[in-house]
Amino acid sequence: MTRDRLVVIGGDAAGMSAASQARRLRGAGELEIIALERGRYTSYSACGIPYWLAGDVADPDDLIARAPEEFREKYQIDVRLGHEATELDLQRREIRVRDDAGERTLPFDQLMIATGAVPIRPPLPGIDLPGVHGVQTLDDGAAVQNSLRQDWQHAVVIGGGYIGLEMAEALTRRGLAVTIVEGADQLMSTMDSDMAERITEAARGIGITVRLGEPARAIEGTDRVRAVRTDAGTLPADLVVLGLGVRPNSGLARAAGIACGATGGIATDAGMRSTSHDGVWAAGDCVETFHRISRRPVHIALGTHANKQGRVAGTVIGGGYATFPGVVGTAITKVCEVEIARTGLSSKEVAAAGFAAVTATIESTTRAGYFPKAQSMLTKIIAERGSGRLLGAQIVGREQAAKRIDVLATALWNEMTVEEMSGMDLSYAPPFSPVWDPVLIAARKAAEKVATT
């Protein structure tokens, strides 16, 4: 009996989740699995890179969930590091692979694409100078770590999204003077402007210089980066980090004729199958997915989605049944002691999706106000006018604030109205919450607005 061969392109969350799950369902005698990873690591936490660079994580090995040896020995998956897929021939069912020894072709029966995302690199003069870093993989993080020198003084972060903020904090803690240059008039475009003001205050509060409405125009230097030029002047830079977000790394698939969607991500069905080619699956940051609130395709690069999608793909490849139900856009981060969280749609996204909405924003505390170390938090809820259905929520606050977003995400997932939410039975004790939790207060305020509009 001949074995099917599954080739997985990409050895991080989605790819190795798919490979492992397929192996659980189909033994080595039925299915040969080869995983190609162009870098040096498998199954690592890219989200942990800024915290390693800041010193919170002592060793990059701590970010690795499963080493290649474990996949080889426990799961009988042939992991090949330093192997980059350069071309797909879907008609011949072959992959062109490059490694240190040269190039060769690798046949496959089934294909799993998990090529992830790549940092957005605008066409700025000097963008390819040494010292300019995108931070998406553990190899990227290692490149930043290995390049840092004690005599360096200045870092510039281009873009004020999640990775930009996290890297700005990390480099500040490493002793560099950090400037964020952001072309928009606020940090974190996924947040509403009133919430973003608190984030800007937090960044400036730890010594980060924030320059809004000031896009980078050029990166200057000869042998390496020396400065970043904007319309307002030139900023010295020993190091530049790109924090402009990411795009799906779907070029390999697109070149092979695999269908991609409006977001640039690979188009898949609910079982993570390619919508255009049989025997091809894709998952993780290289795909587009379905937003359960806007009902539109989106590209949201998060390890949570990648792991779930990979497991779904692996289940289907292994002969089982599973579907990925979509996303609601829940995300969380922090700037030093200030926690930031959001779920659902922002006010701009609500308008773009065609909803009429009301908003309610309340200031409260993370614990009972009289309890020691009670911290302030700002909670914002967006609800559909008329129905009162929750459309989105945002939180900016200090310790114990941000994880409350999970209550709101659960309500959003289950299409609750703010009136229903205002009566939810949430836990209470003074060390954890005021007697009226901020989520309940915001929901009640939103319900009152819905009732009067």
Catalytic positions are 47
Q: From the CB of residue 218, how many other CB atoms can be counted at a distance below 10 Å?
A: 14
Separation of alpha carbons 294 and 269, rounded Å: 18
Residues contacting 151, CB < 8 A, separation 6+? none
As a dihedral over the C-alpha atoms of residue 157, residue 163, residue 165, residue 169, rounded to 10 degrees, the angle is -90
Please say whether the beta carbons of 126 and 132 come within 8 A: yes
Q: Of 350, 282, 285, which Cα lies nearest the Cα of 314?
A: 282
Closest alpha carbon to 198 in 383, 77, 376: 376
